[in-house]
Structure 1
Amino acid sequence: MIYKHASTDLVADKKRRQEATIPKDWLISQSVPVDNVSPVTTIAETCGLLTDKEVLITNSEISLLLKKLASAEWSSVEVTIAFYKRAIIAHQLVNCLTEIFVDRAVARARELDEHLRSTGRVVGPLHGLPVSLKDQICVKGVETTMGYVSWIGRYAQKNASLVDILYECGANPFVQTNVPQTLMWAETYNNVFGRTVNPHNRSLTSGGSSGGEGALMAMRGSPLGVGSDIGGSIRVPAAFCGSYGLRPSYGRIPYAGAVNSLEGQDSVPSVFGPICNSLDGVKIFMKAVIDSKPWLKDPLAVRKAWDEEAYQLAEHGYGKSLVFGIVWNNGAKVPHPPVTRALEMTKAALVAAGHKVVDWDPVGHVEICEALVGIWNAGFLKDFEVLSKESGEPLVDTMVPDPTGVEVKPDYRPTAESAASAYELWQLHKAKLKIRQEHLAMWEETAKTTGTGRPVDAIISPVAPYAAPPHGKSSDAAYTAVFNVLDYPSCVFPVTRVDPVKDAKKPPHKFISTADKENYDFYDPQVFLNAPVGLQLSSRTLEEEAVIAMTEIVDAALKAYKGT
């Protein structure tokens, strides 16, 4: 898509200023591969810009990084620079960054090193850890455009509450990452920074709206990223890019001071959560933020301390003989072969580990998503128009790179006729509450059939009916959005990747909808080559600790199963 408007000078100037923040000796001298299908995830390690130690640092998991930082074996400065260099390399390959503040982050790293040297103590549980932030999480003095031309030149007057907490915990925010204009896309493109692509196959999307975080994580350009999720915006990029990502319940992580789309819509609010290359990072982030008592900084943050007993799965048989419900399809679309294979692998791994897996009937999933789209659409278009009108930039209405290309129109995008009246919106809120009540009763009823005396412990389901699709084809958020409405914390974990032999196209099944047939026709394993496949584990509201612990059990079972 080519954006031509009087304000293109603003965009050109913004891009020039972004490029000026990149140290020239961090630019890749070798030519970027022309082949978009081949992964670019290891180029950082082979291009000659990283030392052997920097490769070791950036390939390390968060628990090891924090141990090395706390012991001063690795300095905060060298860890920050290592990840900065790798993030800049990633950006040149997949276009994942927006704001780059090297000098500020290196100065912060020096302060952290001096504090540790002079006191012998770390600043906090995240001491020295570089953290990337989605471009809506305000950092004082840094522009936060959120993909809008109108917001170029808008500098944050203060930190978002979460950023203050991260600083107090000793973390070092160092970059912001790309988003789609409006945030409300399961892909990442805007008129300011352009398109973020998938490092595993650049002809495929990195997902959205936290697509910059997902791509950066796949390139190991950050050890820990923070995204947001209103309908799947953490989980979709995590799954499409092969990482872990947690969508917490409403208010568990503070949101105050960040910018957002659909502000004022609080029936199904957006939430912040981590995207990492390891599950230990998910737990470390959640515990650090919750231990900081975010409810003292954000009036909407839930006053709930980290629950170690919940993490030990006290209400789930302490992790022994767990019972998982598995969603094979949501009643609207049957997933593509690689997604189904990932479900089958996960079931086999859990059974081999001594757990039980039962089919989960996705009762009401279609109706749940219809209610959500109705709630969003009540003010969707007006919100976008207000945010974009200052510059007069057009609203992005397609994610297809070639305007002549064919796009499956996303189910979650609004139409001019879709806005609800206040009374109609109230009815949607009532319907949503009724659905949540019915789902709770249904879940409790499963205690009669699990054989453990307790209900099903967690649900495992697809993140989308496909792996990362080509640009302009990520049209379905139903598999993730259902858990936003129900407010179930959900954690994505990687399982496999598309294999043209194992995932050959199957004969047509009995289609359950027109959309199901379209999804079937859309599949070609060669198109999805190299795409990661992830699933999500969901449990009940405010059970973040248990969700993390159960995902660890699933992840370990999968690794043991794949190793046999």
Structure 2
Amino acid sequence: MTEAEAPTWQEQALHICAVRDASMATIKAELPDMSGDKHIARVIGVPRLRLTERDVHITESAAEDLVRQLAAGEVKAKEAALAFLRRAVVAHQLTNCIYELLHDRALGRAQELDDYLANNGKPIGPLHGLPISVKEHISVSGCENTAGFVGWAGRRKDEDASIVKILLDAGAVLYARTTEPQGLMAIETQSNITGVTVNPHNRALTCGGSSGGEAALLAFTARDTAQNQRPNKILGGSIRLPAAHCGLYGFKPSSGRLPLMGLEAYCIGSDTIAPSIGPLSPFLGGIKLFMDTVLMSEPWHNDPSLLPVPWASQAAHIHQQEKLPLVVGVMWTDGIVQPAPPIKRALLEVVDKLKSTPGVQVIDWQPFKQNEALEILKRLYSPEGGRAFMENLALSGEPILPLPAWTVRDQPGIEALDIKGLWYWTRKRDQFRYSYLKGTARLAPAPNMDVILCPAYPMPAPVHGTSRYWGYTSLWNLLDYPAITFPVTRVDREKDGQAPGYSPLNDSDRWCYDSYDVQKQKDAPVSLQLVARKSEDAELLQAAEKIQREIGLPFVDCLA
């Protein structure tokens, strides 16, 4: 084919979307017409009106409950797969969250599992028949991996990513692949391939990124535990921010806990920011089920990059036998961007409850060298100054979108580093990690601070095209600390208006202040973040579980 005959980037993108549409055609034909739903802003409850009562029951069952029903044969794996396929098609028509529906693959696998249960009288594994979804750039045998670049169209792998293999071996049924931003480099989800993915709580708002398609789909499947696996190294908050914006739980483990083989991205091989992958779920139990399942497989036997450390899921508390209080340090602000009123209110409400909770001690934790952290992050997220990103865009001629441009090229401080510059900023990273750990021990007003409670983002899900600041999440990527975001409440128009007397701290603070609008963001989920030290992943989830149980989180059901 000559250059003149080569398809344009628009034609390539249209072809990918045509494949996606074909993958959904059979299921879509079974569903009622949804053209009347297009004008609705808050669509979180629409699937309950468009699906059968049985499908709703299956897709809104808690993961642990659905696994038990599948293992007992009360729900057939094929029945569950069909229910989730239908709900995914409904979700996509409302939010544009699906990259590809794996209809035949899911039903074939589900039938195999039903036959196995019938013939053997027991489930094949701990996830027997459980439907799961993954982001597009996670390799699935025979499927395309674009990682958000039009020019990567046609790239395929002949085997599943390691994390997918583990889940399938445990009995999971892979039914969908979801959307992602251009090159994975934005905290919203928009690409020249699939367009914009929107938030089901309010379609005028972003679902976050880079795992926005997963978050939008999961918010619809409510009680599902679909798993999202992607390398957090690409952009801090790429699991946690979509989870926060869509009212879900999102967990970023420490690096070296879960396998990365088979994940595609343009900067795979760069370890300037420690990589990790992790799950999203509507419930904390889904996070625990995922971590239990993957680490029970002892993946370090097949991947030398992983720590050979079993998962401490049976421990009762971050402190054995709860002999010591759980010490929670509260970081009210990072000192760079002030949280918007609903985030402040959520923090106040959680802290107020924690202060009256036996076995919990609450202290204030001041932000520590946040400006320095951001300067390091800007250099190490894009150490070549965006050149590699632009080269991948040039493969098809597609234009760069505004938010990825800001992330990899246009943000003040980003520069193309030579080898000495890379060494310099990598050393600065290591020095910062050391000083932060020492500072935590030296400066905390109480010894043995266990976890830090803080915002995940300065505001609830923002209006499309305005998400620029990731300091509240990327800090923990720089430090390689585990972190989890969790829902607390919703935006309240009566309580969450801007307070008078605002004075901007800097340009980033002004940008976020101007981007918040209580009217436009009404009813959006309001989430917070909990963080622990490196490798204290199990302890962090135990602390999150204790806090959730003791104070009754979320205070408002964000998925209702």
TM, length-normalised to structure 1: 0.92
* Pair 1:331-2:331 in alignment: no
- RMSD over equivalenced CA pairs, Å: 2.2
* Pair 1:359-2:364 in alignment: yes
Q: Size of the alignment, in residue pairs?
A: 544
Q: Compute the displacement of 1:308 (Å).
A: 3.6
Contact 2:379/2:425 (<8 A) preserved = yes
Contact 1:345/1:558 (<8 A) preserved = no
Contact 1:236/1:464 (<8 A) preserved = yes
Provide the secondary structure at the position in 2 that maps to 1:254: coil
**1:516-548 CA deviation, whole Å, 9 max, x = no partner?**
233323332002112111111000111111111
* Pair 1:459-2:452 in alignment: yes
Q: Residues of 2 paired with 1:250 and 1:8: CA distance?
A: 37
Contact 2:462/2:516 (<8 A) preserved = no
* Pair 1:546-2:549 in alignment: no
Partner of 2:138: 137
* Pair 1:437-2:434 in alignment: yes
Q: Residues of 2 paired with 1:560 and 1:96: CA distance?
A: 27
Contact 2:457/2:473 (<8 A) preserved = yes
After TM superposition, the structure 1 = structure 2 runs for residues 245-260 of structure 1, keeping only pairs within 5 Å, are 245-260=250-265
Contact 2:318/2:543 (<8 A) preserved = no
* Pair 1:236-2:241 in alignment: yes
* Pair 1:345-2:349 in alignment: yes
Q: Compute the displacement of 1:508 (Å).
A: 2.3
Q: Residues of 1 paired with 2:474 and 2:316: CA distance?
A: 28
Contact 1:169/1:288 (<8 A) preserved = yes
Greater alpha carbon shift after TM alignment, 108-117 vs 511-520: 511-520
Partner of 1:383: 388
Q: Residues of 2 paired with 1:26 and 1:559: CA distance?
A: 40
Q: Residues of 1 paired with 2:317 and 2:177: CA distance?
A: 35
Decide whether aligned partners of structure 1 residues 316 and 457 sit closer, same or farther in structure 2, where only a CA change above 3 A counts: farther
Q: Which amino acid aligns with 1:15?
A: C
Q: Compute the displacement of 1:117 (Å).
A: 1.3
Contact 2:385/2:408 (<8 A) preserved = no
Contact 1:412/1:476 (<8 A) preserved = no
Partner of 1:43: 46
Decide whether aligned partners of structure 1 residues 535 and 261 sit closer, same or farther in structure 2, where only a CA change above 3 A counts: farther
Partner of 1:98: 99
Partner of 1:11: 13
**1:277-326 CA deviation, whole Å, 9 max, x = no partner?**
000010110111011111123232222111246x4235366286311011
Contact 1:339/1:467 (<8 A) preserved = yes
Q: Which amino acid aligns with 1:481?
A: S
Decide whether aligned partners of structure 1 residues 56 and 432 sit closer, same or farther in structure 2, where only a CA change above 3 A counts: same
**1:479-535 CA deviation, whole Å, 9 max, x = no partner?**
000000111100111001111101021012444333323332333200211211111
Contact 1:87/1:216 (<8 A) preserved = yes
Partner of 1:404: none
Contact 1:291/1:305 (<8 A) preserved = yes
Q: Residues of 1 paired with 2:87 and 2:509: CA distance?
A: 40
Q: Which amino acid aligns with 2:269?
A: G
Q: Residues of 1 paired with 2:225 and 2:554: CA distance?
A: 26
Q: Residues of 1 paired with 2:530 and 2:129: CA distance?
A: 30
Q: Residues of 2 paired with 1:340 and 1:168: CA distance?
A: 43
Partner of 1:120: 121
Provide the secondary structure at the position in 1 that maps to 2:329: strand
Provide the secondary structure at the position in 2 that maps to 1:273: coil
Q: Residues of 1 paired with 2:393 and 2:553: CA distance?
A: 50
Partner of 2:471: 478
Pick the aligned partner of 1:424 from 421, 427, 434. 421
Contact 1:32/1:93 (<8 A) preserved = no
Decide whether aligned partners of structure 1 residues 140 and 94 sit closer, same or farther in structure 2, where only a CA change above 3 A counts: same
Partner of 1:490: 483
Provide the secondary structure at the position in 1 that maps to 2:183: coil
Q: Residues of 1 paired with 2:321 and 2:505: CA distance?
A: 37
Greater alpha carbon shift after TM alignment, 213-222 vs 543-552: 213-222
Provide the secondary structure at the position in 1 that maps to 2:134: strand
Decide whether aligned partners of structure 1 residues 385 and 254 sit closer, same or farther in structure 2, where only a CA change above 3 A counts: same
Q: Compute the displacement of 1:463 (Å).
A: 0.7
* Pair 1:272-2:277 in alignment: yes
Decide whether aligned partners of structure 1 residues 417 and 314 sit closer, same or farther in structure 2, where only a CA change above 3 A counts: closer
Q: Which amino acid aligns with 2:256?
A: G
* Pair 1:312-2:316 in alignment: yes
Q: Compute the displacement of 1:114 (Å).
A: 1.0
Contact 2:128/2:172 (<8 A) preserved = yes
Decide whether aligned partners of structure 1 residues 509 and 393 sit closer, same or farther in structure 2, where only a CA change above 3 A counts: closer
Provide the secondary structure at the position in 1 that maps to 2:37: coil
Decide whether aligned partners of structure 1 residues 416 and 346 sit closer, same or farther in structure 2, where only a CA change above 3 A counts: closer
Q: Residues of 2 paired with 1:148 and 1:411: CA distance?
A: 15
Q: Compute the displacement of 1:7 (Å).
A: 2.7
Decide whether aligned partners of structure 1 residues 509 and 85 sit closer, same or farther in structure 2, where only a CA change above 3 A counts: same
Q: Residues of 2 paired with 1:381 and 1:143: CA distance?
A: 24
Q: Residues of 2 paired with 1:557 and 1:261: CA distance?
A: 43
Provide the secondary structure at the position in 1 that maps to 2:182: coil
Partner of 1:403: none
Q: Residues of 2 paired with 1:411 and 1:380: CA distance?
A: 6
Decide whether aligned partners of structure 1 residues 247 and 361 sit closer, same or farther in structure 2, where only a CA change above 3 A counts: same
Q: Compute the displacement of 1:443 (Å).
A: 2.2
Q: Residues of 2 paired with 1:194 and 1:558: CA distance?
A: 40
Q: Residues of 1 paired with 2:502 and 2:22: CA distance?
A: 54
* Pair 1:532-2:529 in alignment: no
